[in-house]
Amino acid sequence: MIVITGATGQLGRLVIQSLLERGATPASLVAAVRQPARAADLAALGVQVRQADYEQPETLQTAFAGAEKVLLISSSELGRRAAQHRAVIEAARAAGVALLAYTSVLRADTSELGLAGEHRETEAMLAASGLPHVVLRNGWYTENYLASVPATLQHGVLLGSAGAGRIASAARADYAAAAAAVLLAPAAEQAGRVHELAGAPAWTLAEFAAELGRLSGRSIPYQDLPPAEYQGILAGAGLPGPLAELLADSDACASRGALDGSDAALQALIGRPATPWTAQLAAALSA
């Protein structure tokens, strides 16, 4: 039995889809979700749906009953993640799982990304727990930048603070496929491993803007801004303050290489090259 936490999130659904495509039986999968009603489609596939809330440890104990493996998809609640992840680790240990897989961030141990802090805390908790575990250090999702395409087309300029930093992104589905491959491998083969996952080819925001311009038949320049100014623009556009700060910080760190990396580990796990960012951009425009 494999339990996937956050199973109704964007990554969680893709992990379940990939597990099924790779031969896992629906009955062997548990979608652990905060609101089971939102997982009706998964239940219709035969996947077990169990209520699990990171803030309610008793629900985690019930959700993990009988589990051999658990995928802890990191929480999206900035500032609360370390405590929530601790609850999951403790519940997994109590359930006696053979392997806990955790979605961290690329080079979490040395990354200067602001969001890496809670990942480091979680990885330290895992190391101290004695629980057999494997860490999936996911690089950047191409989707993080595809979300800005409508506004970029509206205003005719791509804004950011990444300078000439290269971004080795991959599709969210690529990272989901890597997680599925790890979960279906023997637990003893994966325990203790750290997978540094990134896509290829890496690209800059200027290249992203140029390709967007080519595909749309328009001139789309990239305008590089100081991080504080970029953060202010994001907040002014309606993004919550912490998210605007995170995005501006991530861009600033990207300018110093924090989002660049090798695709070797990802390609080895999924058995194919990562989805090219250019293909994703073209598909997003077509949609």
- Distance between CA atoms of residues 55 and 83, nearest Å: 9
Say what the pLDDT of residue 78 is: 82
- Distance between CA atoms of residues 45 and 39, nearest Å: 10
Say what the pLDDT of residue 112 is: 96
- Maximum C-alpha span of the chain: 57
**Which position has the higher pLDDT, 76 or 252?**
252
The H or E element containing residue 264 is: helix 264-270
Contact between 54 and 87 (Cβ < 8 Å): yes
Residue corresponding to tokens 């800059």: 204
**Which position has the higher pLDDT, 237 or 268?**
268
Average pLDDT in the 112-120 region? 95
Average pLDDT in the 138-160 region? 95
Strands (E), 67-225: 69-72, 99-105, 133-138, 158-160, 194-197, 222-224
**pTM for the full model?**
0.96
The per-residue pLDDT for range 164-190, each reduced to its tens digit, is 999 999 999 999 999 999 999 999 999
Q: What secondary structure letter does DSSP report for 131?
A: -
The H or E element containing residue 23 is: none
